[in-house]
């Protein structure tokens, strides 16, 4: 089965650590049940398909599926635009672009 773009599969035997990020993120569970532990929080969370949780900027998270789950890790639209600009602009500014006509064969 092919998963939609940006959807990840997690099996019960896997524990996934999400490293801290500079931006807030949202964890959306699309199928199954996930046990979520956030650094600095006293309680763990159980999330079922269709539920989401905010992952605050600077916090790491641990995920484990029971027994399997699919999820998406989402950025707020503003953060996604800023990240895209930050990642793409240096690449474009350091390359020399030359336009050449396509050869016709």
CA distances from 92 to 12, 21, 73, 83, 101 (A): 42, 24, 27, 15, 21
Task: Determine the Cα–Cα distance for residues 54 and 41; give it in Å rounded to an integer.
Answer: 12
pLDDT at res. 6: 75
First to last CA, the chain: 41
pLDDT at res. 8: 87
Identify the structural domains of the chain with CATH numbers, from first to last: 8-74 (2.60.120.10)
pLDDT at res. 68: 93
Per-residue pLDDT of the chain (105 residues; tens, 9 = 90+): 444 457 888 888 788 999 999 889 999 999 999 999 999 888 999 999 999 999 999 999 999 998 999 999 887 666 545 545 444 444 444 444 444 445 455
pLDDT at res. 89: 43
Q: Which of 59, 67, 80, 68 is nearest to 9 (CA)?
A: 68
Widest pairwise Cα distance in the chain: 67
CB atoms within 10 A of CB 32: 19
DSSP characters for 5-18? TTEEEEETT-EEEE
pLDDT at res. 74: 87
Q: Tokens in use for 35?
A: 């046990």
């Amino acid at each position: 089965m092919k998963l939609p773009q940006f959807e990840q599969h997690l099996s019960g035997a896997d524990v996934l650590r999400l490293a801290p990020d500079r931006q807030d993120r949202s964890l959306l569970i699309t199928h199954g049940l996930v046990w979520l532990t956030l650094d600095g929080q006293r309680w763990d969370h159980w999330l079922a398909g269709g539920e989401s949780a905010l992952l605050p900027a600077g916090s790491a998270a641990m995920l484990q599926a029971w027994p399997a789950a699919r999820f998406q890790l989402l950025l707020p639209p503003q953060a996604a635009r800023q990240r895209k600009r930050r990642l793409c602009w240096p690449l474009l500014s350091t390359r020399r672009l030359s336009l050449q006509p396509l050869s016709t064969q």
